Chains A and B, each alone.
Chain A
């Protein structure tokens, strides 16, 4: 709010591979940022989309473990699941991510934490999917209403040529 240090999220959609990269800095050491990603009580406090409630059904944050959580709002429930592929405390989380509604689709997510000194951390999160269609759908998913309208609008614009 009145904080002098402000670290807005940066995002890049890679043009060559279907990947989205997010970079963000935090005023907390890697140990805390890591813990906020693996402790289910903490995860439930921030990870779900705004205006949804988050219920964690399963959470085994170990290499080879898996997770499942359900976000719900007035329109219904949305389940997500995946596996923890590699966890290295305070440094790295590699996991898969699947929306229950699209069980064949999977994103490979890699989270890297970097100690940038003064008790601060730089987080770099990449999501890799198996097609550009999937990536662009991924960018569009979870957004507020109007996204599909946006797509239709673009289709129209492009169709008009």
Chain B
């Protein structure tokens, strides 16, 4: 398994069933049985998925309550999406500058500068 925290989050979310579980937990806490209900898989298989999500820090399970509902650790999830969003915004800023360059560019190269180190 990947060693660093962010990679664990990414690989935990690589699986479509696990992404679906996360999406459903975003609505509210649920028990393993509730989570397993819509899938054509055993409760054991869903438990395995939950173990991966738990190891990645994405979900937690209450130790006290009898039902042991699964809870989405929304702040871990938000933090990851926030990073990607910042990276995206940075690229978008760069490409807006490129938009400006493209708008001001003449239709044909003014001088054959390519491959000509300055």
Query: Are A39 and B102 in contact, CB atoms less than 8 angstroms apart?
Result: no
Chain B interface, number of residues (Cβ within 8 angstroms) = 47
Given the known interface contacts A11-B87, A140-B83, A147-B83, the answer about A59 and B117 at a Cβ–Cβ threshold of 8 Å is yes
Interface status of B38 (Cβ within 8 A of chain A) = no
Which of A75-83, A100-108, A131-139 is found at the contact surface with chain B? A131-139
Task: Chain B residues near A32: list those with CB within 8 A.
Answer: 102, 105, 107
Q: List 24 A-B contacts (CB under 8 A).
A: A9-B88, A9-B89, A11-B87, A15-B10, A20-B87, A24-B95, A27-B99, A32-B107, A36-B98, A41-B113, A45-B97, A45-B101, A46-B97, A46-B100, A50-B93, A59-B117, A123-B95, A132-B4, A133-B7, A151-B6, A154-B76, A155-B5, A157-B76, A158-B76
Q: Which residue numbers of B lie inside 8 Å of A, CB to CB?
A: 2-8, 10-11, 13-14, 56-57, 60, 73, 75-76, 79-80, 82-84, 86-95, 97-103, 105, 107, 109, 113-115, 117-118
